[in-house]
Structure 1
């Protein structure tokens, strides 16, 4: 039987290697920016990181198909994916807009999806060298620098009626619907981050709620979702009211709300 926690640590090293390739391009003047069919940007760094990740995953003793944002059309087809019970879900550079802005808020995301659920997650932040990882039933961890000892992380416990809750918002996507959601709280404090770092703020207990009432894709959330679950949080599909699911025919997420350890039972105490 595969030790998923050990596997997550191995995948973390692959993410670090991809991050090193990203930084090589980050430190140049030519990002090689292209626009994809959905008008989202693609850079040399996205492609370089994807090549490193796919090569690294294929060298592991544990093998599963790879579904990547920058993969081929054939790899992304539902005819193929619908037959899979498990697969790697990869976003080689999450937060490409933040990368282009040079604000550091971009990540490497690698998740293992099994039967529609994220069971292993790795999120690496190249600029700060912070690594987050998790395995189902084994906890969520952060490593603040190479060689440092992993530390267990936990989401913050709270109720939705608490004052001064920290609500995470995107640096690039703060729409009217999101602002209306934030306005429901009693004197909320806004925490602005980019990429999957928004969800990491919940997982490490630095924030409480993240409303994502705008489009995302499954590869944007899979790795961070796995980590948040193991830290004690959840990500609720705003359409179904249930935990976000993966490997749908269309790889676009419904709007969702991510929470730390929300404890509504405390309101009855």
Structure 2
């Protein structure tokens, strides 16, 4: 079933991305603030409803968590053996700012571990996807090809390309680096697109400080992991899924080549667990 599921998730992500892109290009959306002061648009809501509807049609009986829907009580969620978790627009701020750096995230989680991940970048017409144990891939208008993190010629000394947010201050992130190496910032948009940059070898790492949800990392975790990298909290411990009442993530790192001594490069700090 997994292969069939992956193909359907790819189709759903592309369909939702098409709807989002149409609204984006026509500027046919309105913006509001959620209770946590983060922005949301009508495009987020419409895409969320579309994805949830398509998932329920294709896979009846498998629950869905969406960033933009009311979340089920943990007493119910903790009983789930499998579920989907989605972020209809990862990078809503980028959508509003019209940078083009936003994406559709869909993941399938089994036994508290993401095992299928799909990320579609509508503006770039690029689809990133992975299934546990089957490798990571990028599909665009030209080709579909396997992707891998960049392998360092010298893991101890080569320059590091660090993905950096356009919307957040760089200084708190750069202060966490403890290295004499050349560090080259790569400014870009949403968390998931930063993950994809690392998965395809265009950047090497990313440190996220501040609030995110499990929907921000689930699809990325499969893609990055299958490409040879990993996502960990700031104490270099695995990110968990649906194991606590809150669906919020701790601060986290996305790391490429595992031969690089990342624990010597980033200053570890006690993670804020949920």
Asked whether the two chains share a fold, i.e. TM above 0.5, the reply is: yes
Conserved 8 A contact 1:167-1:182: no
Q: CA deviation at 1:258?
A: 1.0
Conserved 8 A contact 2:127-2:139: yes
Q: Does 1:231 align with 2:219?
A: no
Conserved 8 A contact 2:164-2:170: no
Residue pairs, 1:1-269, within 5 angstroms: 2=1, 4-61=2-59, 63-72=61-70, 75-145=71-141, 149-158=143-152, 161-182=156-177, 184-195=179-190, 196-239=192-235, 241-247=236-242, 248-264=244-260
Q: 1:155 to 1:6 in 2, by over 3 A?
A: farther
Q: Distance in 1 between matches of 2:26 and 2:180?
A: 43
User: Bigger shift: 113-122 or 155-164?
Assistant: 155-164
Q: Note the residue ranges of structure 2 that are not aligned, 5 or more in a row.
A: 262-274
TM-score, structure 2 as length reference:
0.88
Q: Note the residue ranges of structure 1 that are not aligned, 5 or more in a row.
A: none
Conserved 8 A contact 2:105-2:118: yes
Provide the alpha-carbon RMSD of the alignment: 1.8
Corresponding residue number in structure 1 for 2:270: none
Q: Distance in 2 between matches of 1:149 and 1:58?
A: 30
Q: CA deviation at 1:89?
A: 0.5
Q: Distance in 1 between matches of 2:26 and 2:45?
A: 15
User: Bigger shift: 91-100 or 155-164?
Assistant: 155-164
Displaced runs of 4+ in structure 1, greater than 2 A? 28-31, 157-163, 173-177, 181-185
Q: Would you say how many aligned residue pairs link Structure 1 and Structure 2?
A: 258
Offset from partner CA, 1:104-133 (integer Å, 9 cap, x none): 000000011122211110000011110011
TM-score, structure 1 as length reference:
0.90
Q: CA deviation at 1:187?
A: 1.2
Q: Distance in 1 between matches of 2:9 and 2:84?
A: 11
Q: 1:30 to 1:183 in 2, by over 3 A?
A: farther
